[in-house]
Chains A and B, each alone.
Chain A
C-alpha cells in the first residue's frame, strides 16, 4: 500500500487518492471503534436534560426535573431514598479514608523498602508483587468473616460501617502503591538524606522534613488513584454495608436502577452524571500524567 514512497516519477492522481485513502484507514477504524463508547457518554449527558425518554440522542424537551434530587428527596411509592447529599458525604468520607490509609501505610513501607537494608527485604518485594497480582476479590467470603469476628471481639462496628470497608479497600490498594512510591524514593539521591542525618535529624525527622517534600509527585499519583478507587468502589460496599444511612452514591444508584430503570432514565442519568463528575474532572486534568504512571511510565519513577 505505501510503496508509493519508492516511486521516482510524479505520482498520478489515482495513486495520490489511493495513498490518501490508505492513510485515512487507521483514523476511520479508530473513530468507528470508539463510537459505542462516545455514544454512551453522549447519551448520559443528553438524557439527564431530557424531559421524556429519548429516542436517539436528541432530548425530547429540556428540563431540570431530572436534577430534582439536588433539592428534594427521591420518592418511590411513599418510601424515600437516602438523600443524595448524605450519600455524597458518605462517598467522600469513604474515598478520603481509603486515600489517607493508602498514602500513610504505603509511604512508610515504600521508604523502608527503598532505604533500609534488612533481612527478608528481597522476599518482601516478591511478596508485594504476589499480593498485587493476587485477585483479592476471591477472598471476599473469608474477609466477611474477618470483619464479623473483629466486630464481635472489639464491639466496634467493622461490618456495616464505612471505615471498616475502607480498611479492606485500602489493603487491596496498598501493595501497588507501596511499589510505586518505592520507585520515587529510589530516585531521591542518598546524599540528600545523608545531609539531613549530618544535620542531626533522626530517621523520622529525615522522613518528613527532607524526603517527603521531594516525593510530592509520587504521593499525588497514589492519592489520586486511591481516592478514585474509593470513590468508584461498589462490590465491597455492596456486600458489607447493610443500612441505608451508610449508602454511598454507588449503592444509591444501584438501588435507583432497580426501581427506575424502565420508568425514569432521566433521573438515573442525572444522578450518575453527578456521581462521575469528580472522576471526569480528575480524568481531564491529570489524564496524561495518570497514563504515564499507570503504564510503563513508572520507568520514570524508578
Chain B
C-alpha cells in the first residue's frame, strides 16, 4: 500500500524512480514458496501422520518418532551413514586437494586444464550413465574391470557394498573440491611463492607452509558443504547398490526414500527425512554464520 503511494509521488517528479520490484520477483517467490517453503512445513506436518498410498491425513502424534527408535534397521542405517559420510568426505577433500595441487601448482596451466577436464567428466555425465560405468567396473564376472585387475571373480557390490558406495561417490565428489581449491590456489599472489623459492624452500615446503594455510576457508567450506550434500543425496547409491544387500549400504536419506516411495509410507518417511531437514537447516545457518554472507557467495558460486 505504502509503496504505491510513493510510486505516485515519485512519478510526478522523476519518471525513472518506480519501485516496481514486485512483478520481477513474483515468479521467483511463487516457485520458491511451492517447492521450498511449503514442503518444509508440509514435511513437519506429514511426520505426525501415518499417511500411506490412500493419501489421508490421520494425525498420530509422535508415533512415527517412537517407531524409529524401535526400528531394527535404524541403528544399522545410522552406522552406515556415519561411515559413508566420514569416509567419502575424506576422499573428497583429500583427493580434491591433492588433485588441485598437482594440476595447478606442480604442472603448467595447459596440462592442468586437461586433467581438470578429465576429472570433471564424471560430474558432467548424467548419473544413470555414470552408474552404468561403475556397474561394468564392478561386474561380478571376469568381464568387470576390477575382476580383470585382481584376476579372480569377486562380486563387489554383494561383498563390499559400503566400500563401493564410498568409492563411487568419492570419485565424483573429489572434482568439487578440486575445482574450488584450484581456483583458490590460482588466486594466491605469485610473489609469495617466488619469495619462498628465492629463500630456497622446496616445493613441499611451499605447499605445506604457504599454500595450505592460505586454503583455510576453502577447506572449511568444502568440508561443510560436502557433509551436507553427502547426508542429503543418495542418487548414486540408489543406482549402484540400491542400499543392498540387506541394508548393508543403506544410508539415512535413502532409507527415508525407500520408506516413502517403495513402501508408500509417506508419514513415516517424512519423519525419517525430518532429521535430515533439521540437520540441513542447522548446517546451512552455521555456514552462513562462520563464513559470512560475502565469503560464502564467493565460495559457493559453483
List chain A positions with a Cβ less than 8 A from chain B: 1-3, 5-6, 26-27, 29-30, 33-34, 36-41, 43-44, 47, 53-56, 101, 104-106, 108-109, 111-112, 116-118, 124-126, 129-146, 148, 167-168, 170-172, 174-175, 178-180, 194, 197, 202-203, 228, 231-235, 239, 249-250, 253-254, 257, 261-262, 265, 268-269, 272, 275-276, 279, 283, 287-288, 291, 293-299
Instruction: Give residues of chain B (1-41) contacting chain A, Cβ–Cβ below 8 Å.
Output: 3, 15-16, 18-21, 23-25, 27-28, 31-32, 34-36, 38-40
Instruction: Please give, as numbers and ranges, the residues of chain A lying within 8 Å of B23 by CB-CB distance.
Output: 108
A294 contacts B179, CB within 8 Å?
yes
Q: Report the minimum CB–CB distance from B14 to chain A (whole Å).
A: 9
The answer to whether B103 has its CB under 8 Å from any CB of chain A is yes
Q: What residues on B are CB-neighbors of A232 within 8 Å?
A: 124-127
B276 within 8 A of A: yes
Asked if A37 contacts B34 (CB within 8 A), the reply is no
Chain A residues, CB < 8 A from B215: none
Looking at chain B's contact residues, the main secondary structure is helix
**Could you write out 20 A-B pairs with CB less than 8 Å apart?**
A1-B204, A40-B133, A104-B27, A105-B27, A109-B27, A130-B285, A131-B32, A136-B35, A140-B273, A141-B256, A144-B261, A146-B38, A171-B34, A231-B126, A232-B127, A253-B129, A254-B239, A257-B131, A261-B135, A298-B301
Supposing A33-B99, A141-B256 touch, asked if A105 and B31 sit within 8 A by C-beta, the answer is yes
Taking each of B103, B127, B301, which has the highest tally of chain A beta carbons within 10 Å of its own beta carbon? B301
Asked whether B119 lies within 8 Å of A34 as measured between CB atoms, the reply is yes
Contact A297 B38 (CB under 8 A): no
Contact of A118 among B21, B145, B232 (CB under 8 A): B21
Beta-carbon contact of B261 and A108 below 8 Å = no
B235 to chain A: closest residue by CB: A235
Please tell me the number of chain B residues within 8 Å of chain A, measured between CB atoms: 105
Write the chain A residue with the least CB distance to B148.
A56
The reply to whether B39 and A234 contact each other, CB–CB distance below 8 Å, is no
Give the residues in chain A near B145, CB-CB below 8 Å: 39-40, 43
